[in-house]
Every structure is written in structure tokens, then in C-alpha cells.
Amino acid sequence: MSEEKKITPAESGKDFDRRAFFVKLGLGSLSIAAAGTAAFSYQFLSPNVLYEPSPIINAGKPGDYEVNSVTLDVNAAIYLIHAPEGFFAMSAVCTHLGCITAWKPELGIIACPCHGSKFYVFEAKKTPGEKIEGPAPRPLPWLQTWISDEGDLMVDRSITIRPMQFVRV
């Protein structure tokens, strides 16, 4: 009678393969868990803020604006106006529902394309920005304007001022 020798898993090398497989599986799981924890920690610790563009606009040199000119900066949504009394800036955002208004040189007024509000600019005895007609509840606000140390016209869109405060150069 022949005696068959039983081969143990350790002898066959299968046990080693299984152990190595489970070690790798465990390490892989730990790596994925660590990566997930790191991602969530970073997200949690990062400030949850919305970065907005600066409200301050450099409108360039005063000499670039002729007297009695109205210049619309669509991106900044402001008018830079060179009146005979000096410079000033007004918001171009309609006070009705926030449409961007437009300068109408042929009429000498600012008009809103959305619902027809109209605003004075150079009318005698009228404050620039004052409403002529339409649903806008308030005039177009004047914005803080000054000359920088470099001689540039600067406008802060976040600060409204009382009208008729001209910047003289």
C-alpha cells in the first residue's frame, strides 16, 4: 500500500499567497480611507468664502474724458461722467430690477431697456441720476470717486455718496 503524503497549504505556498492577498487588500482599504479622510478634512478646514472682484475700478486718466462726456463701463456697470463742474461716477444698474441702463446721446439721457425708466444727466436744475419717468423707485446712485496718487480716476462701486460731489482735476 502506497502512502500518499499530504501537502499542507504552507508547504504548497498557497497559504502565503492568501495571506499576502489579504495584507494587500487591507493596506489598499486603509489607503482609500486615509485619502477620503484627507479630502474631507481639507474641505472642512478650507474657508467657505466666495471671492468677488474688487469694487474699486481704475477708470484711467482724466484727460481721456472730454467735457460733457458720458462713458459706460459695461463690465463694471458704472458711468464715468465728465461734467463742466468736474468728474463723477454713477451706477449704471437700474434701481427698478437691476438691468444695465444705456446712455442715449441723441436724447441726452440715460434709459433702461427693460421697463423704460429714464434718468437725467446734464439737464439744467436737475440732479444727474434723477428719474425722469418709469418704474425705477430711486435715482441712479453716485459712487465715491477720487484721483489716485498716480493721477488716475478711481471709483469705488461699494460706496454711494450724496450727489453733486464733483472731482475737480
| Residues in contact with ligand FES by the rule CB under 6 A | 94, 96-97, 99, 112, 114-117, 134-136
Q: Least distance to ligand FES from the beta carbon of 154, Å? A: 27
Q: Least distance to ligand FES from the beta carbon of 38, Å? A: 48
> 65 near 90, Cβ under 8 Å?
no
Q: How many DSSP H helices and E strands does the chain contain?
A: 2, 10
Q: How far is CA 65 from the centre of its chain?
A: 27
Q: How far is CA 123 from the centre of its chain?
A: 34
Q: Indicate the Cα dihedral angle 125, 129, 134, 138, nearest 10°.
A: -110
Q: Least distance to ligand FES from the beta carbon of 163, Å? A: 19
Q: Which is nearer to ligand FES, 111 or 167 (CB)?
A: 111
* Beta bridge partner(s), residue 160: 143
Q: Which is nearer to ligand FES, 134 or 141 (CB)?
A: 134
Q: Which is nearer to ligand FES, 38 or 107 (CB)?
A: 107
Q: Which is nearer to ligand FES, 89 or 94 (CB)?
A: 94
Q: Least distance to ligand FES from the beta carbon of 48, Å? A: 32
Which 8-state DSSP code applies to residue 121?
S
